[in-house]
Amino acid sequence: MLFEKVLIANRGEIAVRIQRACKEMGIKTVAVHSVIDRDAMHVRLADESVCVGPASSKLSYMNMGALLSACELTGAQAIHPGFGFLSENATFAQAVQDHGIVFIGPTPEHIRVMGDKVEAKKTALSLGLQTVPGSEGEISTLEEAHSISDKIGYPVLIKASAGGGGRGMRVCHNPCDLKEHIEHASAEAQSCFGHSGVYIEKFLACPRHIEFQILGDHFRRVLCLGERDCSVQRRHQKIWEEALCPVLTPSQRNQMYTKIIHAMERFGYQGLGTLEFLYEDGNFYFIEMNTRVQVEHPVTEMIYGLDLIRLQLQVAQGIPLSYTQDDLRPFGHAIECRINAEDPENFCPSPGKISAYAVPGGPFVRVDSALFSGYTVPSNYDSLISKLVVWGITREECIARMRRALHEYVISGIRTLIPLHLRLCDEPDIQNATYHIKWLESYLSGQN
Ligand code: ADP
């Protein structure tokens, strides 16, 4: 089915990003918004807009009934969920389909399987991907937890099967603390995700987080659009992302691309997806799959010269992929800095009114944001307010350009992570790409 009108069930920069692709494709857009977002950029730029509830995202952006009604009301044929909110909710994807509307994403079953981390690991194993050593499924008794942890060796990581966004995870360094950590992780999982099940994994010392971008059409063809290195993290949240990964050799990456394409073709995956791995001592360990577009997708777009949202909309319309893996030629290097409305020292959220706003420009600089001067960043939603993405022919040039663009970027009235990113550009470990997933936290605590 060719789309004439798409409803975007999201807000902020990703809603604007999706609108941009739709507009360039001649597709009309419907924005949905909460009461406090009525003057937001994503509403101003849309062809139509519908208020779907009060400020609380549970009652608005995650209000399935209101979103489906908005679709019926406006005659939108498809829903783009963006990321976060209902993007990985299999019940929502199914409900959308049941209403005769296209859900722009994979099948509800694929979302369900990959949304349960235990099932995702089992599936990845069965598709020939290596996973982090640990329990085979959720742990049911303390004895089982002890015997698995003794077998794989401490430290171990207790993770919520329903986890996401770095929540519901606890590191345990010795057997005496195991019971307490399991109880904490379970309680946190229950309160965040409504499911208390946890599993155990070996806690890897200093791995890198490397993830592979894939795109599948409805004809069992899958492309791998390279990888991203997202090792610069704080509390399991990515801050700085790059493509391609600066430390992989061409043969390592091609081996992984082949393996992943084969696995995902067997799985019959449709749409955009990302397979996340931890990489240590030359080994890749699958940790999870995200069945949606990711925050950091622009770095991939920059090096391939492709619009991933356009491609996502095309495959959702049943159009076969028009590229082969051999057609894909990454070029140069790209880096994304996440600009959060947070204090750059203590990371406290910093919502409020933007008194002055000036975006950087010049060659190969991209800003994905929904900010404008006079806009008030609400406290109700995620603190990600802008993504600064730059491209360079070499990684070195890319970092120099990022530093220059960060200096040009003016966001007054609130605190942001810009000063932190400026410091990162000057760090030898960043410049030499000798970082891993624990690097940023030890840097921030002054241990580097
Ligand atoms: P979430 O869905 O909550 O983001 P992930 O499974 O993707 O959870 O893990 C998020 C981050 O947590 C990873 O990028 C990594 O930094 C860290 N992590 C996850 N599993 C392990 C592990 N077994 N050992 C060490 N760090 C891990």
Q: Write the residue with the smallest CA distance to atom 6 of ligand 1.
A: 287
CA of 126 to the centre of ligand 1 (A): 21
Domain ranges of the chain: 5-104, 142-202, 208-445
With the most atoms of ligand 1 within 8 angstroms of its CB, the residue from 169, 208, 241, 436 to mutate is 169
- Name the pTM for this structure: 0.96
Q: What is the pLDDT of residues 338-382, one digit of tens each?
A: 999 999 999 999 999 999 999 999 999 999 999 999 999 999 999
Q: Write the residue with the smallest CA distance to atom 17 of ligand 1.
A: 236
pLDDT the model gives residue 161: 87
The reply to whether ligand 1 has any atom less than 6 angstroms from the CB of 352 is no
Q: What is the pLDDT of residues 114-135, one digit of tens each?
A: 999 999 999 999 999 999 999 9
Which CATH superfamily does the domain covering 208-445 fall into? Answer: ATP-grasp fold, B domain (3.30.470.20)
Q: Does domain 5-104 have CATH number 3.40.605.10?
A: no
31-38 contact pairs (CB < 8 A, 24+): 32/7, 32/8, 32/60, 32/61, 32/66, 32/67, 32/70, 33/60, 34/59, 34/60, 34/61, 34/380, 35/60, 36/378, 36/380, 37/11, 37/378
Rounded to whole angstroms, the Cα distance separating 115 from 291 reads 8
Active site residue 266: no
Q: Which atom of ligand 1 is nearest to the CA of 169?
A: 3
Q: What is the pLDDT of residues 35-77, one digit of tens each?
A: 999 999 999 999 999 999 999 999 999 999 999 999 999 999 9
CA of 251 to the centre of ligand 1 (A): 25
Q: What is the pLDDT of residues 236-255, one digit of tens each?
A: 899 999 999 999 999 999 99
CA of 87 to the centre of ligand 1 (A): 20
pLDDT the model gives residue 448: 67
Nearest CA among 117, 194, 193 for reference residue 158: 117
Residue 165: pLDDT over 90: no
Nearest CA among 13, 14, 19, 17 for reference residue 46: 19
Would the CATH topology of 5-104 be identical to that of 208-445? Answer: no
Q: What is the pLDDT of residues 199-230, one digit of tens each?
A: 999 999 899 999 999 999 999 999 999 999 99
pLDDT band at 168 (very low <50, low <70, confident <90, very high): confident
pLDDT the model gives residue 164: 79
* CATH for 142-202, options being 3.30.70.1170, 3.30.1490.20, 2.40.50.140, 1.10.10.60: 3.30.1490.20
Q: Write the residue with the smallest CA distance to atom 9 of ligand 1.
A: 166
Candidates 208, 221, 253, 292; catalytic one: 292
Q: Hey, what are 358's tokens? A: 């000036």
Q: What is the pLDDT of residues 287-314, one digit of tens each?
A: 999 999 999 999 999 999 999 999 999 9
CA of 420 to the centre of ligand 1 (A): 23
The pLDDT of 421-431, averaged and rounded, is 98
Q: Write the residue with the smallest CA distance to atom 2 of ligand 1.
A: 164
CA of 99 to the centre of ligand 1 (A): 36
Q: What is the mean pLDDT of the chain?
A: 96
The pLDDT of 79-90, averaged and rounded, is 98
